Amino acid sequence: MGFMSYIKIGAVLVIVAALWGAKAYFDWSQNEIKVLQGNVIKLEFAVQTNEAAVKSLQIGIKKSHDAHNAVTRKFAKARQENTRLKDLLGKHDLGFLASKKPGLIQRRVNKGTANANRCLEIASGSPLTESERNATKPSTINSSCPSLANPRYNP
């Protein structure tokens, strides 16, 4: 065999090695592409999940904000009614009245205490009763917190 034959064999071997290398690189790159495509799918799912979580949190924040505003309004009404009651009670000498008409004062104090306790229950989230919702006459309302306990009552 001559020198040219060795060169031809060497050239064929180099070409075969190059083709084998190219095939190995191609297989490796195809595998990497599959892995990257899988990662893209996982990332897209994570983005969708995060977007849904953000939307859910935004809805929760709005509901919380609305509930806070409603409670703040109720407590503002309760403070107004508390001030009104304080002014009303300040006009009377309950000790003197109790010594003169103990039965009358006891009934009124008991009713006022029951009304005030019910106001606290309602402000804390207790639902209104049917009679509280429908009360429209001064004789049927909770005079301690009429706007809170009797929404239909207009003085």
Give residue-wise pLDDT tens across range 116-141.
Answer: 899 889 888 899 999 998 888 888 88
Going residue by residue through the chain, which has 155 residues, state the pLDDT in tens, using 9 for 90 and above.
Answer: 678 888 999 899 999 999 999 999 999 999 999 999 999 999 999 999 999 999 999 999 999 999 999 989 888 887 888 888 788 778 878 788 888 888 988 888 898 889 889 988 988 889 999 999 888 888 888 988 888 888 888 87
pLDDT at 84: 81
pLDDT at 1: 67
Q: Domain count of the chain?
A: 1
Q: Which amino acid is at 15?
A: I
Give dist(CA 98, CA 115) in Å, integer: 20
Give dist(CA 56, CA 52) in Å, integer: 6
- Give CA separation, 44 vs 11, 73, 135, in Å: 48, 43, 57
Residue 11 lies in a domain: no
* CA–CA–CA angle 144, 145, 151 (5° rounding): 140
Q: How many CB atoms lie within 10 A of CB 119?
A: 23
122 contact partners, CB below 8 Å, separation of at least 6: 128, 132, 145, 148, 149
Residue 104 lies in a domain: yes
Residue 36 lies in a domain: no
Residue 152 lies in a domain: yes
Residue 106 lies in a domain: yes
The whole domain housing 88 covers 46-155
- Give CA separation, 88 vs 21, 94, 154, in Å: 98, 11, 19
Give dist(CA 122, CA 131) in Å, integer: 14
Reading the block at residue 18, the tokens are 């190059």
Q: How many CB atoms lie within 10 A of CB 5?
A: 9
Give dist(CA 148, CA 142) in Å, integer: 9
Residue 127 lies in a domain: yes
pLDDT at 150: 87
